Every structure is written in structure tokens, then in C-alpha cells.
Structure 1
Amino acid sequence: MKWILYDIGGVLELVDDDRWPQMLEKSWSVRLGLTVEALRARLDAADLPDTTLQAGVEGEFWQKFAAALALDDAEVAAMRAQLWDAYCGEANVELLEHARSLRGRAGLAILSNSGDGAREEEERRFQLSSIFDPICYSHEQGVAKPDAGAYLTALGRMGARAEDVLFIDDNDAPARGAESCGIRAVLHRDNATTIAAIERFLAN
């Protein structure tokens, strides 16, 4: 069986992963009356857990975040909601619907660098598990793209051979990481081109 393996941010979600963290940082700085540098200094000193490679640490992250910035529960809740809105963006409806149409023709899976809490937030918004299985998150696997371990772990969970997988990502380094593991890759730039590449892969 052939598989299509998708990234999330910038592919299945319409979001600019290169810009939103900086935009959020600026918004929070204004909200708290701090410079960006002062905000960074407080958070750097807070010893926040790495949410990208660990599961079950989101609560600790926000507790330390609140203490570092002297926030009450309502302020933390508002800033947490703002972060997830920025992180998740909007659904790429066309690509999601195309993926759904492939059921029965190919296995459908996700490999995404992520933050602890992403599975719950993205499932609530986009119901990804109704289309994709497995969904491989870096914070749950403990390894992130472009490390070869991320792809090899995903292949194991898929029960797939590398040559039977097409990987789709909007960034060059993860795409090249997939190729180094023997997985064909498409650099996503627009839906029409990506969908055409998927259809060619499945036709051959």
C-alpha cells in the first residue's frame, strides 16, 4: 500500500510558522507593557520545559510562564488561547478534502513538529483523526524533523516501506530529511501543485 505523509502547519493548516511566534511575542510584549527583550529575558530565566519534545509538560509550562510574568489565571487563559489560535491557523479545506478523498487508495498519516497540547487543540478544531492514522507528533515521539529518527518512527507506526511513502512539507529541511531516509518528498507551495504530485505518485 502507498502512503501520503503530511506535515500540518503550512500544509494542512494555513499558518506561517516562520512569522506567528514573533508576531505573538510582539503582541504579548505590548499587552504586558514590556519590551520584547524584557519578555524574552523573563521567559528565558523561567526554565520552561521543552514542549516540542516532551508530552505531559503543558501544565508545567503555563505555571512557570504565569509566575515569570506575574499573571493571574484569566490572563494566562487568554494568552494560552491566543497562542493556540496563532499556532493552528485555519484549516486548508481543499487539501484536507483531497486527503479525505484518497481513503481506500492510500494510507494517510501525519508527521509534524509540535508542542505539547497540539493533538487536543488540532483535533478539536479540525478532527484530523477522522482522516489520518497515525498522527505522529514530535512532542509524543521525542524526536523532531529533520532528524532521521522522526521519519523512521513514523514509518514504523505506519507499517510502511520508505519507497511507498510520499511526504509533503512546506519547508526544505524536513523534505530533505525525508529524502535522506529514502522517502520521496514534495515541497508544498500551493494546493494544485501538491495535489497533482500526489496523484502522480499514486498512479505510478
Structure 2
Amino acid sequence: MRRYARRARRTAPVRAVVFDIGGVLEFTPSLGVTDKWERRLGLPAGELNRLAGDVWRGGSDGTLTEDGVNRALGERLGIDQVIVASLMSDVWTEYLGTLNTELCSYARGLRPRYRTGILSNSFVGCREREQSRYGFEQLVDDLVYSHEVGMAKPDPRIYRLSCERLGVSPEETVFVDDNAACVEAASALGFHTVHFRDTAQTIAAIDGRLAAG
């Protein structure tokens, strides 16, 4: 009986596809923001992230609000809020990147036959900006942002939360990410996984998983 149950889980039909954002639904190449601001502030290489590391973490896990991030950056870097606003404008430009229109169009076409979701390691303020620019809330059935739930990939809990909110199991879900560690963590939980390398490869891999049932 147990042997049959394990086999049934492995062969469960796919009912959902979950996408990462940065590097997948968005193209987010480095624009050299950290180097630019270290030069502007007269900081040695690596110093900006050393000084602001816990601020970035607080924005990622939701323990800081946007205002809290801005105040903390001003204090850590010794700059006023006008300069903080300029720094964060550059950070957001790099963070938001440009839309992967081909993959987003593909994702939109999966509904309503499949449930679709987003599972993203994020930063406080990104939901509003991504919604304004890209309309992700209309693209998929559910969005899980790390800063809103207080956990991040590759923590197994956040993958399970995404499944719970979509009403599916990991074995019924294809998960797409460009980060190998996040892909490996999902695979260990029973997800069908696709490691994003380029859009054509990813669409072909998802189609292959869906065709297999």
C-alpha cells in the first residue's frame, strides 16, 4: 500500500506552474549600482553592502518598512534622505529590470487550464512597483513575496505555502527559477523543476513537463 502511494504521488498530473520573478519573469542584469554609489560616497569596494547588509535583509524579510529602510540607510551611510532617495531610485531601476514579455505571455496562456503562481525572494515595496509596471497580480492566480511572509527560498516552508495557496501539492507543480539552490530545494520537496537559462529553453521544458502529465 505504501509503495502504491509513493508511485501515485510521483505520477500525479501537473495542475500548477510557479515562477520566480528576478531573472525569470524580469530580466535583471547588474547595472553597477553598488559600484556607482561606493564611488559617489567615497567608500571602498564592498563597504556599502557591509554597512547596509542588515538593512537589505530587513527589507527582504519584512522586518523593516520602506520608511525604516530609508531611515536606516541614512544613518548607516551618513547621508540625508534626498541622497537616500536617489540611491534607492537606482536600486529600484536595477531591481525591476525589464519584463520578459515572451515568458509572461506564455504564463498568461496557461490559465485557466493550470493554476499559476509567483514565488519570489523580494524586497519591501516591490509588490506595488511591480504591479504598477508589470501587472503581475493579473498575470497569475497567487503571488508569494518573501518580505510579506517572513521567509525566503530555499526555506522549504515558503514552497509549501505557495502550494497551499494554490490548492495543489508539490508533486502537481512545476517550479521555475534561475537560482540553482532554489531549484534544488524545490526538487527535494517533490516539485517538477525547470532551471531557467533562457526563455525558449524554459518554455520547452515546461511544455515537456505538462505533456508528460
Q: Same fold (TM over 0.5)?
A: yes
Q: Does 1:100 align with 2:111?
A: no
Is the CA contact (8 Å cut-off) linking 1:3 and 1:165 kept in structure 2? yes
Counterparts of residues 1-204 of structure 1 (less than 5 Å):
2-16=15-29, 19=30, 23-40=32-49, 42-43=51-52, 48=55, 50-54=58-62, 57-203=65-211, 204=213
Evaluate the alpha carbon distance shift between residue 120 and residue 55 of structure 1 in structure 2; reply closer, same or farther with a 3 A threshold. farther
Listed as ranges, the gaps of 5+ residues in structure 1 are: none
Q: Deviations over 1:35-67 (max 9, x none)?
A: 2355345436xx636211125522111101112
Structure 1 residue ranges, 4+ long, deviating more than 4 angstroms after superposition: none
Letter in 2 for 1:27: K
Greater gyration radius? 2
| TM-score, L = length of structure 2 | 0.86
Aligned length: 198
Listed as ranges, the gaps of 5+ residues in structure 2 are: 1-13
Is the CA contact (8 Å cut-off) linking 1:6 and 1:169 kept in structure 2? yes
TM-fit CA distance, 1:98: 0.8
TM-fit CA distance, 1:121: 1.5
The separation in 2 between residues aligned to 1:55 and 1:120, in whole angstroms, is: 17
SS state at 1:36 partner: coil
Higher deviation after alignment, 84-93 or 67-76: 67-76
The separation in 1 between residues aligned to 2:18 and 2:46, in whole angstroms, is: 38
Evaluate the alpha carbon distance shift between residue 151 and residue 42 of structure 1 in structure 2; reply closer, same or farther with a 3 A threshold. closer
Evaluate the alpha carbon distance shift between residue 195 and residue 25 of structure 1 in structure 2; reply closer, same or farther with a 3 A threshold. same
Two-structure CA RMSD over aligned residues (Å):
1.8
Q: Deviations over 1:150-188 (max 9, x none)?
A: 101111111111111000001111011111111110001
